Amino acid sequence: MKHPYNSKFVPAAVAAITACIGLLSWQSASAQPVSASAPNAANAIPAGQRMYYASHSLMWDVPTPLAEMATAYGISNHVLVGIQSMGFSRTQQQWDAREDAQHQAKPALRTGKVDVFVMSPMAMPDTGVANFVKLGLSNNPAMRFFVQNNWAGFNQDGQKASMSSMAGPPHPWDATTEEDLKTLNTTCEKAFEAQVKQINEEVGHPVLFIIPTSQANTDLRTRIIRKEFPGLDKQSQLFLDQIGHPTPPLVTLNTYIHFAVLYGRSPVGLPMPTVLKRANNPKWDDAFNKALQELAWKTVIGDPYSGVKAPDATKP
């Protein structure tokens, strides 16, 4: 699983991720979440969504398994309208891109035929996020927007790595301690929450939500350190390289989080996606797949900025 990124972008990646981790803390408050129906209810199959992505390489792997999951759940008319891909991009760079055959995000929004627009900012605040929200709502007031809160690309030693070392062997992710993980990406997470809250307040109701992959990644890495996640023995099994491009388990976890946030349904019980099957690792079995699903759902309903509430167990 090799990503077609260009090495000339690596310094930009380091700068963006390090800046994200180094941002000053923001004061945050919860956006009002929307209600989610009980997961797996026979009469609660949601309508398919018309999706557009403005994405860097930490989200390129999501659209295909997401469509597979939607089909497996019984959701019809899940449509991938398009993907605007730019390696190591801020959302403002996605916004500023010259419109051509490869950069159709703004033209797609002008049609009013996109239901969901998903972005992957490197750090927040990012004016591109607000620009896309404004354009989308002006053409489809019922649109929803999502930002993937990326996992930290480097551990604390990795943030200090020289550029010459980037071409060398993979960074020892496994040196990251449980104590390191407690603060690894929290400042960036708070910055995401602050801008989401601000934009929703300006619009007057929730239209922008967070896909909390960062929090799930930290939880998973903590469990790996504690030897509490059978099938994964080392944190480095989640990453292809120093930048943090995901291996099949992390692609799968991230996509389950996208599914849960976008459709407000638990992914628990869905069949193993092709991306995990093709890894052909005997430890990554159905029980492993279910554990990833449970972690995704727990993370999503535990984050008020996801827009998904846990179903009320007192109601039939």
Residue 5 counted as domain residue: no
Q: Residues of 222-241 as b/e, b for ≥16 C-beta within 10 angstroms? A: bbbbeeebebbeebbbbbbe
Residue 129 counted as domain residue: yes
Please report the pLDDT score of residue 161 as a whole number: 35
Residue 125 counted as domain residue: yes
Please tell me the distance from the alpha carbon of residue 220 to that of residue 29, in angstroms, as a whole number: 25
Query: Are residues 97 and 71 in contact, defined by beta-carbon separation less than 8 angstroms?
Result: no
Q: Residues of 261-293 as b/e, b for ≥16 C-beta within 10 angstroms? A: bbbbbbbbebebbebbeebebeebeeebbebbb
Residue 27 counted as domain residue: no
Please report the pLDDT score of residue 313 as a whole number: 53
Distances (CA, A) of 313 to 37, 265, 309, 316: 11, 14, 12, 7
Residue 248 counted as domain residue: yes
Residue 24 counted as domain residue: no
Q: How many domains does the chain have?
A: 1
Residue 23 counted as domain residue: no
Residues in the chain: 316
CATH of the domain at 300: 3.40.50.1110
Please tell me the distance from the alpha carbon of residue 198 to that of residue 54, in angstroms, as a whole number: 21
Residue 257: which of 213, 301, 225 has the closest Cα? 213
Average pLDDT of each block of 10 consecutive residues along the chain (316 residues)? 40 42 30 39 78 89 96 96 85 86 91 96 91 97 95 48 39 84 90 96 97 96 97 94 88 97 96 96 97 98 94 58
* Domain interval for residue 244: 47-306
Residue 164 counted as domain residue: yes
